[in-house]
Structure 1
Amino acid sequence: MTPVPTALLQGASNFRDLGGYATASGQRVRRGHVFRSDHLAGLTPQDQRQLQALGVQHSLDFRGEAECQATPYDIAGVQRVALTIEPTVIARMQALVAQGIVPTTEETVELMRETYRDFVNRNADTYGRFLKHLLEQPTPQVFHCTAGKDRTGFAAALLLSALGVGRDTIEHDYLLTNQLYRRDPRLEGKGHPHVMKVLWQVQPEFLHAAFETIDTQHGGMRDYLHGAIGLSPQEVAELQRMLLED
């Protein structure tokens, strides 16, 4: 595992390099090639120059349409690629509130777990396009959603899994969000504090729900990558060649 990284950007609180993690075979993920982040709409001019210095040429954006309209960005030299996954957990929560139902902490956690199951089963095509874009563009890239925690967290878990990184290390990276992400009330909306605390942090149970679904419904990560995600064995091998140190 790698230590908690130092923030590179002042206007993005959850930005970090996925490089440095060790695989089961003892190789390491290359540094400076793939970055994960929360949204990029708050970057300062210095931040944008830093992205350019890192060589980032594409941002892979998992946000929904309303999110993109609320916090748009345009970074010189960086092409934004829309990989839209609408934030269904917010819609489900709003539906409950409209019925006068305030979910308990446990019910909110289960709602988040169901969201991660949906990532696996309903958004596999989008996550497949994410991995194929990494294959097609050898230059450094950053991927993100609004907080860089759920849609982005599963994307990072999927990529690191494809590279052969163990699940304990993947969970370590996933949970760094709770240390790095600065909550923004303007983006979170209003809700009961116990509900909002669950929605805007990450818990191991969320990621476990995704892995359990992959294992029980798709025959494990390898079959999931070759099946629902749509990567051939040759493409997985090429991704490893590109993103692992020799």
Structure 2
Amino acid sequence: MPTALSVDGLANARDLGGMERSDGSLTPSGVFVRAEMLDRLDESGWAVLRDHGVRTVIDLRRPEEATGSVPDDMLLVRLDLDGDERDFWAPLEADGRWGTPLYYAAHLQQLPHRLAQVVHAIASAPRGAVVFHCGAGWDRTGLVAAFLLKAIGVSEDAAVADYLVSFANADAMTALHGRSFDVEERHAVLAAFGHTPESAFRGMYRELDVDEWFRHAGVGEDAVRAIVTWRGHVDARPQG
């Protein structure tokens, strides 16, 4: 399981360290943190992230969603992971797949430049941990997390467990942020396509080919190396 972070102003934050890789080793802590919107953080909340080593914040939200700022000693990078490609998004919004892992594979294939900008931001970030987030910390954040986990050989079961944490945190997020995160709707959409949250994410993760995506997106060697070594914190992705 990933490591939950107790931060005032966050209810869906976790460090991606401590997760089992295919060779039996664990992912290192203090490299990547995933979270929901950071708008409710006060000085004490930012202090927790700072003490955890965070020095870079990557905001994955659309421009019209972006709010707030970060402390002066942190780098803020705003990158629109969704994009405005209406031909891509219209059918996904119409049938609800946009809020589930059922869109991940198509996004990686058809909009590779969107994730590529995140990869390059991670590769060029200053030393320290990187926190990446969207609104709920669920699916845009989940897509980036899935890619980072697969890139260093995190086991399928561990990656699924990380994804499902957001469902477990939904009530706490609603209480904190004062809005619904549409758990029942997510379940209903997935069921309509013959899936549960677990099966939808598991199927996507199983088929995710990180090396092929790097080639497809035209990502350079230095950025590839930064991702497959988690910014130099692991030697290589285990085989098998």
Q: Same fold (TM over 0.5)?
A: yes
Q: Look up the match of 2:234.
A: 244
TM-score, normalisation: structure 2: 0.75
Q: Look up the match of 1:49.
A: 47
Distance 2:161 2:42 in 1: 29
Secondary structure class of the residue paired with 2:77 = strand
Counterpart residue identity of residue 207, structure 1? F
Which structure 1 residue ranges, 5 or more long, are not aligned?
Answer: 97-106, 215-219
Q: Look up the match of 1:72.
A: 68
Secondary structure class of the residue paired with 2:12 = coil
**Given the superposition, is the C-alpha separation of residues 164 and 213 from structure 1 closer, same or farther in structure 2, using an over 3 Å criterion?**
closer
Does 2:113 correspond to 1:125? yes
TM-score, normalisation: structure 1: 0.73
User: 1:76-97, CA deviations, whole angstroms, 9 ceiling, x for partnerless residues?
Assistant: 32221011023889x759975x
Distance 2:13 2:197 in 1: 19
**1:208 Cα deviation after fit:** 4.3
Does 2:74 correspond to 1:85? no
- Which structure 2 residues correspond to residues 85-124 of structure 1 after superposition, within 5 A? 85-86=81-82, 92=90, 107-108=95-96, 112=100, 114-124=102-112
User: 1:11-52, CA deviations, whole angstroms, 9 ceiling, x for partnerless residues?
Assistant: 011111001112212332211121110011111221011122
Does 2:116 correspond to 1:134? no
User: 1:94-121, CA deviations, whole angstroms, 9 ceiling, x for partnerless residues?
Assistant: 975xxxxxxxxxx545874553234322
RMSD: 3.5
Distance 1:157 1:120 in 2: 12
Which structure 2 residue ranges, 5 or more long, are not aligned?
Answer: 190-195
Distance 1:114 1:74 in 2: 32
User: 1:119-174, CA deviations, whole angstroms, 9 ceiling, x for partnerless residues?
Assistant: 32233222223223323233211001100010100100100111111222111111
| Percent of matched pairs sharing the same residue | 21
Does 2:211 correspond to 1:222? yes
Does 2:193 correspond to 1:204? no
